[in-house]
Amino acid sequence: MKKSTLALALGAALGVSAVSQADTILYGSARVSVDWVNPDIDNHDLGPFFGIDNKDYWEVFDNASRLGVKGSEDLGAGLSAIYQYEFGVDIVGGNAQGSNYFKSNRPRWAGLQGPFGAVTLGTQWTPYYNIVGVTDQFNSSRSFTTDYYLTGTTTFGIPSLYKKGIAELRRGTSVIYTSPDFNGFSGQGMLVMDGKRESGADSGANSRSIDVWELNLKYQNGPIFAGAAYIETESGTRLTGTGVGSFSTVVGKDDREYAVAIGYMPPQWGAMFHWQHYDPDKEFRPGFLTINPAGFTSANFVPGQTDVNAYTLAGYYSFGNEVVRGTVSYLDPDHFRGNTWIAEVGFQHNLSKRTRLWVEYYYMDQELANLQHVNFEDTQNHAISIGMRHDF
């Protein structure tokens, strides 16, 4: 059965009338692995009240499998209607990942494309990820998106486990303009408009119009890649009098993230690098949380935000049907002692153009403390992923 016929059948089942076009493509990717995970967190300085004793375990794991339809319709005069409707599919189900077999936040959008570029609306890959994602090269979902988060959010004054990636790989309620390609140069702009009312003291009778905006500029010519990206987020959230003890803080508006990436990526071997910087708004000072857990005398913990710099160097080498990959990342938060190192290596064997096997390992080591020297010493995370991917 042809893909267009399959797409018609799927569209009828889903109520998606757009798939009636003959050039609609049905596609998917099944990605599953057996993983060994060892989250070794030594947080003894927080006392038994906050103690965590994490054991290693094995898990059958879904790695962002998906099913979707996409296509276009020629409207004449160089104008086309374009669309994509994709589901994240949990092909494992029935475990800690939950039993929701169709997941949200996959690309789902519609728009127009012409000599002017393209305007699309819906849930879409962010302009920021389209730059920093140049180093996102592993098969396991544990690599880029699961465990390390580039932002200054803290718990009791200790930065949370970071991701090497960003807060949002995709954003909903968004509109994106993508420029035409000018001799390898192109750019994107995104506006996120969810219509939600501001919380706290800044709330008013009206909702915000724009919640997040992003920009990127990219140059890609053959194996050469270079790009820069910018995010500005408006939160306005204020929290007071919650949690244990006395808690008062302000999450600043106009938080910013910057990124620069370069890469040289021919088929046989390649190297990529990106730098990211998270810059929380300095207009509002974070408050303090005063608690006395498990034998502590009264102490102040800063639950606010901090600047973070992150650096990632990645590379690959292909020979025959095999590919080896490696990545090293370093994350350095301001105003805190310590840092985070992340290392990853992987081996991939291509059974065909659409089917591959992989073995991948990642390791994280984090030593961070707040200004009161309460710390997560020797926080480590190891994982081995043995998996298979088939695209259709």
- How far apart are the C-alpha atoms of 333 and 152, rounded to whole Å? 8
Q: Which helix (H) or strand (E) holds 333?
A: strand 322-333
Tell me what pLDDT residue 250 has.
41
Given this model, what pLDDT does residue 158 score? Answer: 42
Q: Which residue has the tokens 């200054």?
A: 152
The predicted pLDDT at position 55 comes to 77
The pLDDT assigned to 234 comes to 72
Contact 334, 370 (CB under 8 A): no
Q: Look at residue 153 in the predicted model and tell me its pLDDT.
A: 44
Q: How far apart (Å, rounded) are the C-alpha atoms in residues 80 and 356?
A: 35
CA 237 to chain centre: 22
* pLDDT at residue 289 in the model: 37
Entry pTM: 0.79
Give the Cα separation of 60 and 142 in Å (integer): 13
Exposure of 9 in the CB half-sphere (CA atoms within 13 A)? 7
Q: Show the low-confidence residues of the chain (pLDDT under 50).
A: 1-2, 8, 10, 12-22, 44-51, 96-98, 146-163, 165-167, 199-206, 236-252, 283-304, 370-374, 376
- Overall size of the chain counted in residues: 392
Task: Sketch out the chain's domains with CATH numbers.
Answer: 3-391 (2.40.160.10)
Q: Which two tokens stand for residue 91?
A: 């092909």
